[in-house]
Amino acid sequence: MFVDKLRNCQLRTEQQLKRSFLSLPESRLKDGMTYAALSGGKRLRAFLVMESAFMFDVDLASADLVAAAVECLHAYSLVHDDLPSMDDDSLRRGLPTVHVNWDEATAILVGDALQSLSYEILTSKNLTSDPKINNKLVNSLAIASGAAGMALGQMQDILSEKSDKFSTMEEIKKLQMNKTGALIQWSAMAGACLAGQCEQVLAPYSKALGLAFQITDDILDIEGNTFIVGKKVRKDTKAGKATFVSLMGLDQAKHEVKLLISEACDSLNEFGSEADGLRELADYVISRKK
């Protein structure tokens, strides 16, 4: 069952994260990093790494390292996104955000250190015997998370509150494919990269899934419950942001998610039952409540 697969992924990822933190000196910084990376989370990006690695018969230990790396990168992005100068959130995964639990300076450094750790993990000699694969993973993650990917998306998101530039469907898609979709795409294609295969074979799946995930996020911002979602809801409406829901309406947004999930699953036909985990994740996106 999908729930069991996801739980197994969560356990493996958290075990690897704990191993990765072992060598760090005891400090307030380490406490903040541990808090940010190990205080729950769905681990969907880690799941994408592990399931795509399974499809290409990649060693479990290698998959676990890459899963931990992307979760460190994701945790860094959340810590920084929550800052008062960004989204100004006080709640994440049902707990006080890092800057609330400590202070802004600590949160900034925690994010910086988690980002660095993600690349340290990807350059580990234990990851693969082929340094070209290490280099490709590092380079592609830097692109997905940087000025042409996630960081750009966050900048666009901030600007969207003060401008009507991001008020069309096409502009919102571009923004969200950068802010959320780029890291999801990287995670889904990491398994093929680890196996030395062309990662573009999973591009159609990852693009459709990333967009469906973000539309679902917009729906949850309207319909979700703070105690279930684990963060404040209806923030986008209060901020006056244009979202998929504000542009399409709630019913059309839900219909669009179904179409995208169908598109994602159809793109996996050539992989047979080996891709069942990715299909189950796509179905989960439709029904998720947090």
Segment 128-163, tens digit of pLDDT: 989 999 999 999 999 999 999 999 999 988 888 766
pLDDT band at residue 89 under the 50/70/90 scheme: very high
- pLDDT interval class at 167 (50, 70, 90): confident
Retrieve residue 137's tokens: 């993973």
Collect all residues with Cβ–Cβ distance below 8 Å to 88 and sequence separation of at least 6.
82
Cα separation, 131 vs 150, in Å, equals: 25
pLDDT score of 172 more than 70: yes
Q: What is the rounded distance in angstroms from the CA atom of residue 183 to the CA atom of residue 70?
A: 8
| Residue 82 and residue 98 in contact, taking contact as beta carbons nearer than 8 Å | yes
For the chain, how many residues are written?
290
Domain that holds residue 271: 2-287
Read off the pLDDT of each residue in 155-175 and give the average, rounded to a whole number.
Answer: 81
- Model pLDDT, residue 15: 97
Q: Considering just the CA atoms, what is the radius of gyration of the chain in Å?
A: 18
* Nearest partner of 44 among 285, 256, 224, judged by Cα: 285
132/29 Cα distance (integer angstroms)? 32
For 277, the 3-state DSSP assignment is helix
Question: In angstroms, what CA-CA distances link 117 with 14, 181, 266, 285?
Answer: 15, 22, 36, 28
Confidence of residue 227 (pLDDT cuts 50, 70, 90): low
3-state per-residue secondary structure call for 38-58: HCCCCCHHHHHHHHHHHHCCC
235: domain CATH number is 1.10.600.10
pLDDT at position 218: 87
- Per-residue pLDDT band for 241 (boundaries 50, 70, 90) equals confident
Q: What's the whole-number mean pLDDT along residues 232-237?
A: 67
Q: What pLDDT does 290 receive?
A: 65
Task: Note whether 211 and 273 are within 8 A (CB).
Answer: no
> According to the model, what pLDDT value does residue 29 have?
98
Bridge partners of 91?
96
Q: Show the tokens assigned to 34.
A: 């541990």
Per DSSP bridges, beta strands 91-92 and 95-96 are antiparallel
The 3-state DSSP class for residue 275 equals helix
Burial class of residue 51 in the structure, from the number of CB atoms within 10 Å of its CB (0-12 exposed, 13-18 middle, 19+ buried): buried
**In the prediction, which pLDDT does 77 show?**
97
Share of the chain above pLDDT 70, in %: 92
Query: Within a 13 Å sphere around the CA of 265, how many CA atoms are in the beta-carbon half?
Result: 17
Whether the CB-CB separation of 196 and 130 falls below 8 Å is answered with yes
Going through the chain in order, the beta strands assigned E by DSSP cover: 91-92, 95-96
Asked if residues 128 and 268 have their Cβ atoms less than 8 Å apart, the reply is no
DSSP classification of residue 130: -
Name the domain count of the chain. Answer: 1
Report how far residue 257's alpha carbon sits from residue 5's, in angstroms, rounded to the nearest whole number: 23
Q: How confident is the model at residue 165 (pLDDT cuts 50, 70, 90)?
A: low
